[in-house]
Amino acid sequence: MVQLTMAKAITAGLSAAMARNEKVVTIGQDIGKLGGVFRITEGLQDRFGAKRVIDSPLAEAGIVGTAIGMAARGYLPVCEIQFDGFVFPAFDQIINQASRLRFRSSGHVTAPIVIRLPYGGNVGSIEHHGESPEAYFTPTPGLRIVTPSTPADAYDLIQQAIDCPDPVIVLEPKRLYHSLKGEVDLDAPPRRELSQAHVVRTGTEVTLIGYGPMVSTLVNAAKVLADEGRSAEVVDLRSVAPIDWATIEASARKTGRVVVAHEAPRTSGVGAELAARIQERCFFHLEAPVLRVTGLDMPYPPSRVETDYVPSVDRVLEACDRAFAY
């Protein structure tokens, strides 16, 4: 067991995958000599060479398009998109090409590509550097979307994504890159399947569901509720496409109350699908409507007021109070 930041855990996962299989290559702007804007790929080019850690032009469509072609020829490409707001030039390649290749070819051609996407705000960045674009991708059949909340999970998920025959977007919470440390077992196999949710904390009165950077907020809210004599269960989705409905439904039936939190805007977000599906499948077990704590339906705000936009412990607790009032 070693203590790693989330950034170094992802680096270790990439390095392990590249050492295990020479077909794994990485491609992105400034990922070679510089090691990426967040230094995730630092040292990889020195170890594996410039033919496997490829510095690309500033062209997201070209990065993903090239990766799709490489995947069709047997490689396992890992793309880095520098920031969440820069993924949209590659939208056509992701939605219309990568996600459909297996279906279009009746399984004869797959697109085992990984798209690493730093996402989320509260890091003091400028416009286009604090987005949460997951809801643009989650309805897309054939596309998987995962996001870690701990260094150990980051180490597992990046390697599982590389091994997956489907295209996988790995949403990496950028504010946790260097601020969150945790124990990582570099020799242990993954503890969970790629799309399996994780019950982080067990409870009996309310289920708090989140993913990525929101999980730590929900855990802190659960601790406050415990001090007040209330028992909250915290579920980390880990995968937002597909969703582990069995785990979600079991928790909702047990507690009878559900609060969903995510940083993305409220309308048509992942929380909306969770609320609809839970109320369809668990209606007679619920004591209150499924409530959502989310970002606002507006462009991501300037950094000096972003703490008012990102869901906080207090906002989660207020939602829990409303659930308990029913």
The residues carrying an active-site annotation are 129
- The Cα 111–Cα 263 span in angstroms is 29
Contact partners, residue 280, CB within 8 Å, separation at least 6: none
- The Cα 56–Cα 72 span in angstroms is 19
How crowded is residue 49: how many other Cβ atoms within 10 Å of its Cβ?
11
DSSP state of 141: T
Look-up: residue for tokens 């990582």? Answer: 184
Do 160 and 222 contact (CB within 8 A), yes or no?
A: no
- The Cα 17–Cα 108 span in angstroms is 24
Give the 3-state secondary structure percentages of the chain, helix then strand then coil, rounded to 5. 40, 20, 40
